[in-house]
């Protein structure tokens, strides 16, 4: 691996006191930080002590920020602003940081006069230069008079001071829909700093959007690759630095967040082809999915076809679907997923570079060496060739006719509240799975957001929109494995005969389905009889049914895709959640 | 009490399955519900069984909703829409509900043609009338062609069918800034339904605002009193019904939410002068504040002036400040507040009508009967004349010179995440305290929102913006009592001499304060020496300092208000939180 560019993170991205933030950034592997002034103010450490602490941790301080409302003001305000500046320069000297961020003014005292702004920024540049410092001037998207990067650059050019340059922030530029191509017209040495943030496209006030909903690159809707390419094409060689204000990251474990953050920069560099690392694997499907504890797979038409040579694990198969049943671990949950990739060693190397936490595995004599990593929700992800690992299982010779299940369609993993956006990036960076749009729906116990990631294998990731409190049912939201079949109604009928406990869907649903879709009455009756749910989009249909909970946190789905239907029946998820809840309540 | 109008709540306001929602609405005391279609679809109960369940619970079903995208469509779409309508009429007949909500269309298939809309709504009215049903047509704020209530009414008037009227929703009208006075031009009998929702003014897309951030009346920024008066002036006599989509309410205890909801309607009727109940009390200040467990009040210059006749409670006083120390209860927390009101009996009667949970109290022989209610965060609120209760304490005869504390400025209560908006309404409805604006600030472990409520007494209510997870410090956010003094610096100096453990504020804060404010250097040094924080607004200054934590969840503040400063030094709260955290970490 080759890293052309240094990485940095603004302390405002992370939760905790300054000590927590510095420790997290260093432990994750960042090269430097942007020091957010409020973090310094609340710290017991003096600036000199912070400098020492950063040095001890191997972190450079690349930027001090922010300095607000400086330019284009009347003389008396200018005097006060220079006093503020000199104080910041004192702090910077003690910190050993040479660049300060000056945001375009939002003050009511500012005047709409580019010449005056340039003149005063020139003066500020002179004062900075006397101290060996630099000013990076940034256009806030909501700046009073200066809110575009091209405008900020015009003022900087007019000011013409060597200690004055621009700071480019991807959020301020892309949130406004500004074209980043004009960045190439700025000489690289005048781009003093680069701040990177992604975001979902949200129809809201840009200030609120910026302060609450920024994301790390690769987690949102912005094209950070093209943006950053323009900045590098201009000749910028400073750090890639993250400045992400996000309500969730602000309160989550800062080490976890810092790893997520650094992964976003590694992934960005990969997308820019700056790294000499293995390409994202092109998965050929699920090698297997593993559930922990007893589950009635026989009732679903599966056959126990193998027993592991050294571990308490059974292999159950039906069609192309392979499910491992592991007697060890937290019972009633999905423990692991096997992702079939053409070159497991290369995929493992990439996973390591993408900061995927490795899991140690002990392979028995003659068993296939398997690389496992931990997904953000703790699920073990095995990177394996599709068939090598099968040799670890002694065939039982058992067989059964099956029930029409043909393979694994997708696996649905409920994410911890803090890790929803991290998960999307994880699967994209490590496994090359591309995220779809995020959908929201009203579930019985609160809103839920869900996002599919796919490419060879399909996963759905969901999480509560508001972290669940005391009222939500004590049992965590379950995960599930969705199997494919070619005839959902027939499959459901067969499974009932085999004794599977399928989830009963209320009759009101079918009455409404008939009115809503105009499907023929006899078709509705067949669906109703088998509790098969229905969805359709412009490309096809989706027929699906669920089992009752097969353990504390796991159940199964069987789906039939007709035509080019691309979704996951999210519309029907609240029904399923209510029915699972009712079944639980009725049983207790 | 007199109730002119029936109360109802849409099931979509509450968390849980339909059974949970119905139980909560009934238990809280609502007269009826609006049945949200998705709640019916996910229910195991048939419409007839839901009707029976509601009857058993004493709830009427006042509205079935919503029916979307009906009007102004080409003939083939109309046919499908009428099929949908007939199905809904079937369900309504089984439910025994006579009115359905039809929202103005957002469909791409709709045509901008009021005559066509009127013609098709007339047809729908005829179909409804054949079944003895009614259509309430509502303009969504984001309707494709019809998005204002006056427009909807023009179409309804043009359609001229007795079974067709309008539904008025305060959110759709007030969010757009539409003038509600024109409502008086609509004949009352043509207003088929009234939906009430408040909201904070938020600069965001109206659809997102509506679906996530509605509040119960009195919790937001809308003037529901004037709005509702216009509707009543028009002659409407149907139920006051709440339709509130709120991310927090959707996942919180539905009974708590339903009580909060009903309180909002009682309070609204009070503001409309429809109820014959005692006016909100005009408090004359804090009679006392009670802390539980041992606290070093002597170190703060307080004197133990009394001992309770029958309970393990001591009275500590200084100036006008009275603090009770209760040996019983959860130690290290604020247990109770005594609010001095002119007529405690009347205040207690009002509190009961406003659904404040009563707390049973046992008064010993000869002791003052005290009425206590539970605030949303569990704090006990005593409604008392200022001095009567003092007779319950045997004077100790002890005295001390004091340290300059003169009274109680405010009490700061951290609210449970689910109850922030409930708390605002509670204090307004029960005690007549008016809320100020909600502020947000970045605290070390996540964003915090805070709101003052005041009138005779001042309280600040704060809560996390995102419910805290595992990373946040295990100790709950503390509460505190803020005392007044006339010279904060002198008071801090005296308290240090008395041995009080005051919170040390980092030096970086004072360096920045000097640069930021231009206060004279000698003044800064005095503040720094005593760890006194500083804030100012256009009307005055605020000097304040804190103690270290005096128990698991409680500390004290001493404040000096200069001039007309009206805030609470919120700017400095993150400093205080970091310092408390650091002090805790250093001690352990």
Q: Has residue B417 been placed in a domain?
A: yes
- Shortest CB distance from A515 goes to which of B84, B254, B447? B84
Q: Measured between beta carbons, which residues in chain A are less than 8 angstroms from residue B467?
A: 466-467, 469
Is 80 exceeded by the pLDDT of residue A364?
Answer: no
Same domain? B86 vs B192: yes
Same domain? B249 vs B390: no
Q: Has residue B377 been placed in a domain?
A: yes
Q: If we measure between CA atoms, which residue out of A335, A334, A325, A341 comes closest to residue A286?
A: A341
Distance CA B514, CA B34 (A): 58
- Shortest CB distance from A46 goes to which of B442, B447, B507? B507
All residues at 6 or more sequence positions from B360 whose CB lies less than 8 Å from its CB, including other chains:
none
Q: Has residue B416 been placed in a domain?
A: yes
Distance CA B580, CA A283 (A): 51
Same domain? A483 vs A503: yes
**Domain end marker among A236, A271, A306:** A271
Q: Does residue B578 sit at the A interface (CB-CB below 8 Å)?
A: yes
The pLDDT assigned to B462 comes to: 96
Segment A25-30 shows an average pLDDT of 98
Contact across the interface for A469 and B467, Cβ inside 8 Å: yes
Q: Does residue B582 sit at the A interface (CB-CB below 8 Å)?
A: yes
**Domain end marker among A358, A377, A395:** A395
Percent of chain B with pLDDT over 70: 98
Distance CA A31, CA A22 (A): 11
All residues at 6 or more sequence positions from A21 whose CB lies less than 8 Å from its CB, including other chains:
A11, A14, A15, A33, A39, A254
Same domain? A241 vs A373: no
What would the two tokens of residue A136 be?
A: 């990076």
Same domain? A178 vs A237: yes
Q: Has residue A276 been placed in a domain?
A: no
Nearest chain B residue to A418 by CA distance is B469
Q: Has residue A278 been placed in a domain?
A: no
Is 90 exceeded by the pLDDT of residue B473?
Answer: no
Q: Does residue A574 sit at the B interface (CB-CB below 8 Å)?
A: yes
Q: Which of A31-35, A61-65, A190-194, A201-205 has the lowest mean pLDDT?
A: A201-205
Evaluate whether ipTM surpasses 0.85.
yes
DSSP assignment of B388-415 equals: GGGGGEEE--------SEEEEEEEEEEP
Band (B474; pLDDT cuts 50, 70, 90): low
Q: Does residue B441 sit at the A interface (CB-CB below 8 Å)?
A: no
Give exposure, B56-86, as e/b (b: 16+ Cβ within 10 Å): eeebbbbbbbbbbbbbbbeeebbeebeebbe
> Could you give phi then psi for residue A104, rounded to 5 degrees?
-60, 145
Same domain? B463 vs B386: no
- Residue B180 to residues A437, A517, B187, B231, B273, Cα–Cα distance (Å): 38, 38, 14, 8, 19
3-state per-residue secondary structure call for A470-520? CCCCCCCCCEEEEEEECCHHHHHHHHHHHCCCECCCCHHHHHHHHHHHCCC
All residues at 6 or more sequence positions from B502 whose CB lies less than 8 Å from its CB, including other chains:
B492, B495, B496, B530, B531, B545, B546, B547, B548
Cβ atoms A481, A443 nearer than 8 A: no
Distance CA B529, CA B531 (A): 6
Ranges assigned E (strand) in A236-374:
240-242, 285-292, 303-308, 313-318, 321-326, 333-340, 358-359, 371-374
The per-residue pLDDT for range B35-87, each reduced to its tens digit, is 999 999 999 999 999 999 999 999 999 999 999 999 999 999 999 999 999 99
More confident residue, A361 or A1: A361
Same domain? A498 vs A458: yes
Q: Give, rounded to a whole angstrom, the gap between the first and last alpha carbons of chain A.
A: 56
Is 90 exceeded by the pLDDT of residue B376?
Answer: yes
Element (H, E) at B437: strand B434-443
- Residue B7 to residues B24, B28, B60, B219, Cα–Cα distance (Å): 14, 11, 10, 18
Q: Has residue B400 been placed in a domain?
A: no
Distance CA B221, CA B259 (A): 21
Contact across the interface for A445 and B43, Cβ inside 8 Å: no
All residues at 6 or more sequence positions from B428 whose CB lies less than 8 Å from its CB, including other chains:
B218, B267, B434, B435, B453
- Shortest CB distance from B465 goes to which of A44, A247, A518? A247
- Shortest CB distance from B44 goes to which of A205, A254, A506? A506
Q: How many domains does chain B have?
A: 3
Same domain? B388 vs B302: yes
Residue reference for tokens 């001499």: B497
Contact across the interface for B203 and A203, Cβ inside 8 Å: no
Q: Measured between beta carbons, which residues in chain B are less than 8 angstroms from residue A512?
A: 37, 41, 87
Residue A364, Cβ density class (10 Å: 0-12 exposed, 13-18 middle, ≥19 buried): exposed
Same domain? B333 vs B226: no
Contact across the interface for A574 and B509, Cβ inside 8 Å: no
Structural domain including A311 reads 285-395
What would the two tokens of residue B359 be?
A: 């707390």
Length of chain A: 588
3-state SS class at B167 = strand
Q: Which of A93-107, A321-335, B398-412 has the lowest mean pLDDT?
A: A321-335
Segment A141-160 shows an average pLDDT of 98
What residues pair up with B463 in beta bridges, in sequence order? B449
The per-residue pLDDT for range B259-281, each reduced to its tens digit, is 999 999 999 999 999 999 999 99
Band (A476; pLDDT cuts 50, 70, 90): low
Same domain? B383 vs B249: no
Is 50 exceeded by the pLDDT of residue B1?
Answer: no
Q: Does residue A113 sit at the B interface (CB-CB below 8 Å)?
A: no
Percent of chain B with pLDDT over 90: 91
The per-residue pLDDT for range B12-43, each reduced to its tens digit, is 999 999 999 999 999 999 999 999 999 999 99
Q: Strand order of the sheet with strand B540-546?
A: B434-443, B446-455, B457-464, B405-414, B479-485, B554-563, B540-546, B533-537
Interstrand relation of B240-242 and B7-10 (parallel, antiparallel or unpaired): parallel
**Domain end marker among B395, B418, B434:** B395
Band (A468; pLDDT cuts 50, 70, 90): very high
Give exposure, B398-415, as e/b (b: 16+ Cβ within 10 Å): eeeebbbbbebbbbbbbb
Segment B523-550 shows an average pLDDT of 97
Contact across the interface for B511 and A87, Cβ inside 8 Å: yes
Q: Has residue B171 been placed in a domain?
A: yes
Q: Could you tell me the CATH number of the domain that includes residue B226?
A: 3.20.20.150
Q: Strand order of the sheet with strand A313-318?
A: A358-359, A371-374, A380-384, A333-340, A285-292, A321-326, A313-318, A303-308, A393-395
Q: If we measure between CA atoms, which residue out of A133, A121, A139, A114 comes closest to residue A70?
A: A121
Interstrand relation of B303-308 and B358-359 (parallel, antiparallel or unpaired): unpaired
Q: How many helices (H) and strands (E) does chain A have?
A: 16, 25
Is 60 exceeded by the pLDDT of residue A280?
Answer: yes
What would the two tokens of residue A405 be?
A: 């299940």
Length of chain B: 588
Same domain? A193 vs A297: no
Segment B534-554 shows an average pLDDT of 94
Q: Could you tell me the CATH number of the domain that includes residue B536?
A: 3.10.180.10
Contact across the interface for A12 and B445, Cβ inside 8 Å: no
Cβ atoms A398, A356 nearer than 8 A: no
The per-residue pLDDT for range A320-330, each reduced to its tens digit, is 999 999 998 87
Percent of chain A with pLDDT over 70: 98
The per-residue pLDDT for range B190-236, each reduced to its tens digit, is 999 999 999 999 999 999 999 999 999 999 999 999 999 999 999 99
Q: Strand order of the sheet with strand A434-443?
A: A434-443, A446-455, A457-464, A405-414, A479-485, A554-563, A540-546, A533-537
Same domain? A252 vs A321: no
- Shortest CB distance from A417 goes to which of B204, B469, B512? B469
The pLDDT assigned to A370 comes to: 80
Average pLDDT over chain A, rounded to an integer: 95
Q: Has residue A433 been placed in a domain?
A: yes
DSSP assignment of A262-279 equals: HHHHHHHHHHTT-S--PP
Average pLDDT over chain B, rounded to an integer: 95
The per-residue pLDDT for range B93-131, each reduced to its tens digit, is 999 999 999 999 999 999 999 999 999 999 999 999 999
Band (A2; pLDDT cuts 50, 70, 90): very low
The pLDDT assigned to A475 comes to: 57
With left for phi above 0 and alpha for psi between -120 and 50, is residue A30 left, alpha or beta?
beta
The per-residue pLDDT for range B377-395, each reduced to its tens digit, is 999 999 998 788 999 999 9
Report, in angstroms and rounded to the nearest whole number, the Rg of chain A calculated over CA atoms: 28
Q: Does residue B533 sit at the A interface (CB-CB below 8 Å)?
A: no
Distance CA B458, CA B561 (A): 14
């Amino acid at each position: 691996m080759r890293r052309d560019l240094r990485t940095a993170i603004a302390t405002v991205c992370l939760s905790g006191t300054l000590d927590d933030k510095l420790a997290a950034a260093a432990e994750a592997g960042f090269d430097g930080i942007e020091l957010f002034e409020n973090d310094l103010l609340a710290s017991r450490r003096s600036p000199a002590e912070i400098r020492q602490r950063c040095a001890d941790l191997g972190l450079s301080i690349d930027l001090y920020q922010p300095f607000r409302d400086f330019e284009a003001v009347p003389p008396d305000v200018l005097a006060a602003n220079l006093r503020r500046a000199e104080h910041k320069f004192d702090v910077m000297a003690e910190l050993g940081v040479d660049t300060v961020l000056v945001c375009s003014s939002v003050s009511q005292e500012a005047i709409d006069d580019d010449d005056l702004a340039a003149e005063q920024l020139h003066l500020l540049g002179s004062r900075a230069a006397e101290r060996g410092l630099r000013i990076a001037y940034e256009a806030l998207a909501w700046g009073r008079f200066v809110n575009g990067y091209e405008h900020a650059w015009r003022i900087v050019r007019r000011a013409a001071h060597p200690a004055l340059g621009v700071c480019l922030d991807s959020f301020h530029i892309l949130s406004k829909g500004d074209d980043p191509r004009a960045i190439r017209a700025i000489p690289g040495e005048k781009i003093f700093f680069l701040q990177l943030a992604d975001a979902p496209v949200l129809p809201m006030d840009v200030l609120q959007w910026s302060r609450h909903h920024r994301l790390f690159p690769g987690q949102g809707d912005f094209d950070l690759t093209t943006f950053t390419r323009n900045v590098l094409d201009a000749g910028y060689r400073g750090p890639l630095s993250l400045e992400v204000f996000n309500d969730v990251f602000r309160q989550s474990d800062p080490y976890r967040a810092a790893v997520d953050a650094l992964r976003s920069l590694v992934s960005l560099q990969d997308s820019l082809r700056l790294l000499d690392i293995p390409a994202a694997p092109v998965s050929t499907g699920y090698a297997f999915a593993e559930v922990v504890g007893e589950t009635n797979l026989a009732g679903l038409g599966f056959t126990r076809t193998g027993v592991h040579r050294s571990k308490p694990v059974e292999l159950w198969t039906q069609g192309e679907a392979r499910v491992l049943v592991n007697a060890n671990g937290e019972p009633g949950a999905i423990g692991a997923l096997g992702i079939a990739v053409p070159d497991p060693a290369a995929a493992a190397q990439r996973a390591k570079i993408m900061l995927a936490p490795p899991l140690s595995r002990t392979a028995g004599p003659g068993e296939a060496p398997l690389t496992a990593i931990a997904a953000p929700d703790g699920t073990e992800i095995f990177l394996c060739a599709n068939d090598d690992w099968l040799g670890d299982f002694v065939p039982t010779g058992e067989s059964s006719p099956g029930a029409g299940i043909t393979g694994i369609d997708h696996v649905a993993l409920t994410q911890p509240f803090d890790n929803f956006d991290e998960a999307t990036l994880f699967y994209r960076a490590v496994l090359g799975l591309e995220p779809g749009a995020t959908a929201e729906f009203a579930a019985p116990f609160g809103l839920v957001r869900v996002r599919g990631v796919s490419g060879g294998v399909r996963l759905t990731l969901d999480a509560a929109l508001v972290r669940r409190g005391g009222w939500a049912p004590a049992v965590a939201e379950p995960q599930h494995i969705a199997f494919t079949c070619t005839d959902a109604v027939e499959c459901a009928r067969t499974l009932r005969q085999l004794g599977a406990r399928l989830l009963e869907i209320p009759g009101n649903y079918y009455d409404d389905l008939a009115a809503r879709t105009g499907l023929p009455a006899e078709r509705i009756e067949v669906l109703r009889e088998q509790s098969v749910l229905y969805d359709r989009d412009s490309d096809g249909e989706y027929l699906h049914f669920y089992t009752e909970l097969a353990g504390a946190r796991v159940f199964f789905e069987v789906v039939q895709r007709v035509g080019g239907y691309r979704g996951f029946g999210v519309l029907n998820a609240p029904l399923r959640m209510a029915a699972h809840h009712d079944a639980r309540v009725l049983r207790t």
